[in-house]
Chains A and B, each alone.
Chain A
Amino acid sequence: EIVLTQSPATLSLSPGERATLSCRASQSVSSYLAWYQHKAGQAPRLLIYGSSNRATGIPARFSGSGSGTDFTLTISSLEPEDFAVYYCQQRSNWPLTFGGGTKVEIK
């Protein structure tokens, strides 16, 4: 099973700041890495697929990069609605696995 390790566990930032979230895989997942946003009480939302492709309707302030074992999700300038938990997920090998999540909270 591929283990995804996300860091940091919590990121405390102010609106307008840049957020950089990391996801590291225990073995290569090529570019089969997606990012999801999850707010309490809501359905998770797909943000990024194929490591760097924004899903439909996702604002340009969200960007993804990386390949192999190291990936990054960047939010260029945090909006109030961006404070949430973010998960990476790999689709390279079964079973599908998620990282433990990074909570982006208001400082």
Chain B
Amino acid sequence: EVQLLESGGALVQTGGSLRLSCAASGFTFSRYAMSWVRQAPGKGLEWISIISTSSTNTYYADSVKGRFTISRDNSRNRLHLQMDSLRAEDTAVYYCVKEENYSGYEVLDYWGQGTLVTVSS
């Protein structure tokens, strides 16, 4: 059974930093790209970053580019999100998501339960 368990969410001050982690199990972690998606209070889903299997390629939404860094440790089945220069608008539940390719279609097929990040002055 695929399991994704996020951790690291906390209350942090504006301008501060936080590192989120995601522990993956139930699948061969190193074979799949991984994403982070967030949901601000009362808002919809927002994709923010993706990393390829070997970390060669990373992409970011404009809203976090230059402030957030996605990384992975395939030896420990861990996905990370380093969040710097945090803003109030970064307040959200952050989801760790496994990517899958179904017949040529890339999808977000398994999601964690999420971890809450609150940015406040």
- Residues of A participating in the B interface, judged by any CB pair closer than 8 Å: 31-32, 34, 36, 38, 42-46, 49-50, 53, 55, 87, 89, 91, 94-101
Contact = CB atoms under 8 A, between A and B. Distances in A.
> In this complex, which of A32, A46, A89 has the most chain B Cβ atoms within 10 angstroms of its Cβ?
A46
A95 B59 contact: yes
A91 B110 CA distance: 16
Interface of B: 4, 35, 37, 44-47, 50, 59, 61-62, 95, 102-114
Contacts of B108: 34, 36, 44, 46, 89
Nearest to B61: A95
Contacts, number: 64
Given A43-B113, A53-B105, A99 B47 contact: no
Contact of A53 (B103, B109, B111): B103
Contacts of A100: 44
Main secondary structure of the interface of A (DSSP, over half): loop
Nearest to B97: A44
Given A50-B102, A53-B103, A45 B44 contact: no
Contact of A34 (B35, B44, B107, B114): B107
A95 B102 contact: no
Closest 4 A/B residue pairs (Cβ): A43-B111, A96-B47, A50-B105, A98-B45
Given A43-B111, A44-B95, A91-B106, 5 more contacts: A36-B45, A42-B113, A43-B110, A53-B105, A95-B47
B95 A99 contact: no
B103 A98 contact: no
> In this complex, which of B46, B47, B95, B103 has the most chain A Cβ atoms within 10 angstroms of its Cβ?
B47
A32 B105 contact: yes
A89 B39 CA distance: 14
Contacts of A101: 44-45
Contacts of B105: 31-32, 34, 49-50, 53, 91
Contacts of A45: 111
A86 to B, nearest CB: 11
Nearest to B103: A50
